[in-house]
Structure 1
Amino acid sequence: MSIVTLQLGQCGNQIGHELFSAICGDVRGTHGLCSKKENESYHDACKERFFSEEESQVPVARAVLVDMEPKVINQTLSTAARSGYWRYDEHSHFCQKQGSGNNWANGYSVHGPRHKEAIMNLVQREAEKCDRLGGFFTIMSMAGGTGSGLGAFVTQCLRDAFPTSFILNHIIWPYGTGEVIVQNYNSVLTLSRLYQSSDALLVHENDAIHKICAQLMNIKQISFRDVNQVIAHQLGSVFQPAYTAESGSHYSRNPLGDLMETLVPHPEFKMLGLRNIPQMPENSLAYSTFSWPGLIRHLRQMLIANAKMEEGIDWQVRPPRVGSSIPSSHPMNKPQHFNTSIANLAILRGKDVHSVDLGSFQDPSLYTSWLNPQDAFNAWKTPRAFNKENKHEDSFHTLGETSLCLKYDGRVDNTEQCLCSVAYIHQYTKFGIEEEDFLDSFTVLEQVISSYTIL
């Protein structure tokens, strides 16, 4: 099944371009870890998901590009076309001359309704190109106005127009130090709307990716492109074909559906986090060796300690005791930094993947009590390495991250304080977003936070 990607706003378009570039580079690569037949099967599955081909034989990304300013879209279209390896459909983009001014209300209440028909016509056209539509993958930031506001509006439109299709929103959590002065408002409004429309939200935190660039990739002057390339690599390692337990000797044909079935067992819990190991500069790979037991051990502790990278893992964090008479949510039984999971998916790529022992991830103490660990953990595998790495690669998704919920809690508290002081509210009320809309958003997110907190 094919996935239609929606690149929304400056951030969404830049990450989307890096993602398609990473996927195309992976398809074009030669990989010595698998047979020619295996490689061809992998190529076919990938192209069906992400690209269509026209008479020119140049793969065309299954994507719709949307921004309220033309600069980034023009750059994205031209850069992809110049590569000669893939391109965007020249008719699958929409832009205007004036942006949203980092104002969620402007994107949601003004640009959204005004341009709904034009944008949804592009989406419908792209969906009709698919022999079998698997769903939609949206890429957006939560800090600005177009990605967050228009992105939330478009997601609601997708749900209305395609009620049976899966929708996965990829959202970029802004830097804690603040990129935009009203980013707390934008984030709270975005999350509350998406939680009601999306099937799942995959979160990348800018602060965490920035640390990966600095400490693992050894990048001295970190640019947004560096951050976006790390994000794109992680996303590609998730979405590229792999064998599921049910797919047997064929690559999964319904990637979004399989992800939802595996990671979203309850509609109240739809926040997904991603961990990837190993992560290092490309020029260091030739001098590095990995063993699956070592990677698995590090990845499990990253999950337990809620670490986003292998460097600096807190090895003192341990799961709570199973069978204790004290409720799992009680502070005496739940270590301060322990990350309780609802569901986990491990994706292994590389040599000898089918002989790897993943039993440590089925430990009942890692999971909430209301789901059987046998159902909570799944593994997808392929001997085909991802991108330029002829090494072992292991990607991990977790749902139900306690620390992430605490960040939501802090952001909601900060936003409520700003609202009480009436700070910048006039920027939203002039576009039709009233205090009641904020209060409704607080109610939605406080319920979500409460649900995660008692895990």
Structure 2
Amino acid sequence: MGRELVTIQVGQCGNQVGRQFWTMALEEHAKHTKNGIFDESMSTFFRNVEHGYDLPMSQRIKNLRARAVLIDMEQGPVAETLNGPLGELFDSSQFLTDVSGSGNNWAHGYALYGAKYKEDILEKLRCATEHCDSLQSFFILHSMGGGTGSGLGTYILSLLEDHYPEVYRFTTAIFPSADDDVITSPYNSMLALHQLTEHADCVIPIENEALFAKVSSTTSKEKSFDGMNRIVARVLTHLTSSMRFEGSLNVDLNEITTNLVPYPKLHYLLSSLSPLTTKSPSYQTVRLSHLFNDIFHVQNQLIQTSPRTNGVMLACGLLFRGNVQISNVQSHLTKLKAEMKLIYWNEDGFKIGLCNVPSLDCPKNQPSVLALSNHGCIVETFDRMQQRFLKLYRRKAHVHHYTEYMEECQFDLALESNRWLIAEYNKLNSIQESPCERQLPQF
């Protein structure tokens, strides 16, 4: 039986990342699907449809439909997808748009458009989930800096918790940079983060600044954005590879939550890829030792932080693709554990996944790895967000635009939530090696 994922793309950024994601997923399955047969690996992300009806497994591929809902309060990003090469993946039951946008205002997206489109969104979700035999997770792709992705995106997250409480809620949230051109992005990010803390099961935060640093060598700004979105798409395809392809040690998304989130609400997972790029000639000689050496270096992190030097690691998942043997992983893992600061009660807290099918960007059967770590150094990201938020909020700048749709106290609640996150992670960071009477966080 398939283990389906329904992807929900919200806002301009969510839909742009989604285009790269679906392009990469199609390319992966085209490369590894034999004889044009629709198999269980494809059913994770796709349906096989003919004359409006789903075909059973093991039939020839007729018309693929993505398991997705596309939402934006402007028409452009969704229209670009529907009118482009991916248009046939979607039908009218899968998208929802407006024309005026959310004005870079979290409250506009959350309170106004949330209430206005609640029933329409639930209907789109119902249509998507009715085609699933064993729905495992919702994937939300959105940004934190604008109005639709941050506001309506987190409103949808709360709807999912209310109407599908047993289905895991994963979000990939793109955090704005310090010089973001949306002046109110600190407000939007802080308000959205509060909702992610309350309603998500797992959050993979990715910073625009970190992404841009990875692709800054490209000359074209447009190509740089494509490259940034492709990195995020690689994270998503890597994360789900064990659900879609054969491997000697497969990992489901529910295992990610079970193994990497030891405390409720402390569910933010740092992501890093190795190799980050396959364009270097030296990539042809990559070895497993290279992956272990690079995976926690600053240049491989998709958040601007250093897990090797700051904070404590609560748990970590290492998801390998390609020709990787568990015996080789274990030998390198022993060395890695000695280099990282692990919480004392979880010194063996590594979840290993092995997928035989290599990443799309990797030549031949070369290995690659995605690391997802629940790490205390995430407080650096939360602290930067808080400082940018306070620069505006202390002057009450632009607050009146938000109080048209919400109470001002929601700013204070969001700020308090962020301070709580920082404090709880810092409690864990400060735990000493001695096992005597440690003060653990209370939940």
Q: What is the aligned partner in structure 1 of residue 422 from structure 2?
A: 449
Contact 1:9 1:66 in 2 (8 A): yes
Q: What is the aligned partner in structure 2 of residue 340 from structure 1?
A: 312
Displacement of 1:250: 7.7
State the TM-score, normalizing by the size of structure 1: 0.83
Q: What is the SS of the residue equivalent to 2:242?
A: coil
Q: In the TM superposition, what whole-angstrom CA distance separates every residue of 1:57-87 from its partner, at most 9, and x where no partner exists? A: 23211000011111110111222446xxx61
Q: What is the aligned partner in structure 2 of residue 351 from structure 1?
A: 323
Displacement of 1:143: 0.5
Structure 1 residues 276 and 387, CA, compared in 2 at 3 Å: closer, same or farther? same
Structure 1 residues 44 and 262, CA, compared in 2 at 3 Å: closer, same or farther? farther
2:387 is aligned, of 394, 409, 413, to 413
Structure 1 residues 44 and 345, CA, compared in 2 at 3 Å: closer, same or farther? farther
Q: What is the aligned partner in structure 2 of residue 75 from structure 1?
A: 80
1:266-415 matched pairs, under 5 angstroms = 266-282=263-279, 284=280, 288-299=284-295, 301-302=296-297, 306-308=298-300, 337-356=309-328, 357=331, 358-363=333-338, 366-369=341-344, 371-374=345-348, 376-389=349-362, 390=364, 391-402=366-377, 404-415=378-389
Q: Which amino acid aligns with 2:387?
A: D
Q: What is the aligned partner in structure 1 of residue 67 from structure 2?
A: 62
Is 1:125 matched with 2:127? yes
1:49 is aligned, of 38, 44, 51, to 44
Contact 1:27 1:387 in 2 (8 A): no
1:207-226 matched pairs, under 5 angstroms = 207-214=209-216, 218-223=217-222, 224-226=225-227
The more displaced of 88-97 and 286-295 is 286-295
Q: What is the aligned partner in structure 2 of residue 162 from structure 1?
A: 164
Structure 1 residue runs of 4 or more that deviate by more than 6 Å after TM superposition: none
Equivalent-residue separation in structure 2 for 1:102 and 1:13 (angstroms): 16
State the TM-score, normalizing by the size of structure 2: 0.85
Contact 1:6 1:137 in 2 (8 A): yes
Q: What is the aligned partner in structure 2 of residue 24 from structure 1?
A: 26
More contact order relative to length (CA 8 Å, sep ≥ 6): 1
Could you tell me which runs of 5 or more consecutive residues in structure 2 were left unpaired when the two chains were aligned: 51-60, 430-443
Equivalent-residue separation in structure 1 for 2:199 and 2:186 (angstroms): 20
Contact 1:243 1:382 in 2 (8 A): no
Contact 1:99 1:146 in 2 (8 A): yes
Structure 1 residues 136 and 278, CA, compared in 2 at 3 Å: closer, same or farther? same
Q: What is the SS of the residue equivalent to 1:241?
A: helix
Equivalent-residue separation in structure 1 for 2:221 and 2:352 (angstroms): 33
Displacement of 1:436: 0.8
Structure 1 residues 242 and 193, CA, compared in 2 at 3 Å: closer, same or farther? closer
Contact 1:140 1:170 in 2 (8 A): yes
Displacement of 1:405: 1.5
Q: What is the SS of the residue equivalent to 2:285?
A: coil
Equivalent-residue separation in structure 2 for 1:118 and 1:285 (angstroms): 50
Displacement of 1:201: 0.9
Q: What is the SS of the residue equivalent to 1:380?
A: strand
Is 1:237 matched with 2:235? no
Q: What is the SS of the residue equivalent to 1:288?
A: helix
Displacement of 1:307: 4.6
Contact 2:271 2:301 in 1 (8 A): no
Equivalent-residue separation in structure 1 for 2:206 and 2:379 (angstroms): 14
Q: In the TM superposition, what whole-angstrom CA distance separates every residue of 1:197-230 from its partner, at most 9, and x where no partner exists? A: 111111111111111112xxx4222322221112
Displacement of 1:364: 8.8
Equivalent-residue separation in structure 2 for 1:313 and 1:406 (angstroms): 7
Contact 1:29 1:388 in 2 (8 A): no
Q: What is the SS of the residue equivalent to 1:209?
A: helix
Structure 1 residues 423 and 295, CA, compared in 2 at 3 Å: closer, same or farther? same
Structure 1 residues 452 and 307, CA, compared in 2 at 3 Å: closer, same or farther? farther
Paired positions, count = 408
Q: What is the SS of the residue equivalent to 2:265?
A: coil
Displacement of 1:19: 0.7
Structure 1 residues 416 and 435, CA, compared in 2 at 3 Å: closer, same or farther? farther
Q: What is the aligned partner in structure 2 of residue 197 from structure 1?
A: 199
Q: Which amino acid aligns with 1:112?
A: G
Contact 1:143 1:179 in 2 (8 A): no
Could you tell me which runs of 5 or more consecutive residues in structure 1 were left unpaired when the two chains were aligned: 319-336
Q: What is the SS of the residue equivalent to 1:29?
A: helix
Structure 1 residues 309 and 408, CA, compared in 2 at 3 Å: closer, same or farther? closer
Q: Which amino acid aligns with 1:398?
A: S
Q: What is the SS of the residue equivalent to 1:109?
A: helix
Q: Which amino acid aligns with 2:261?
A: V
Q: What is the aligned partner in structure 2 of residue 260 from structure 1?
A: 257
Q: In the TM superposition, what whole-angstrom CA distance separates every residue of 1:124-181 from its partner, at most 9, and x where no partner exists? A: 1101110111021100000100000011111101100011111011100111212310
Displacement of 1:414: 3.0
The more displaced of 160-169 and 382-391 is 382-391
Equivalent-residue separation in structure 1 for 2:244 and 2:133 (angstroms): 21
Equivalent-residue separation in structure 2 for 1:243 and 1:87 (angstroms): 18
Q: What is the SS of the residue equivalent to 1:124?
A: helix
Contact 1:307 1:313 in 2 (8 A): no
Identity among equivalent pairs (%)? 26
Q: What is the aligned partner in structure 2 of residue 325 from structure 1?
A: none
Equivalent-residue separation in structure 1 for 2:385 and 2:283 (angstroms): 42
Equivalent-residue separation in structure 2 for 1:112 and 1:450 (angstroms): 31
1:97-108 matched pairs, under 5 angstroms = 97-108=99-110
Q: Which amino acid aligns with 1:29?
A: K
Q: What is the aligned partner in structure 1 of residue 437 from structure 2?
A: none
Contact 1:243 1:381 in 2 (8 A): no
Q: Which amino acid aligns with 1:308?
A: N
Equivalent-residue separation in structure 2 for 1:410 and 1:206 (angstroms): 13
Displacement of 1:401: 4.2
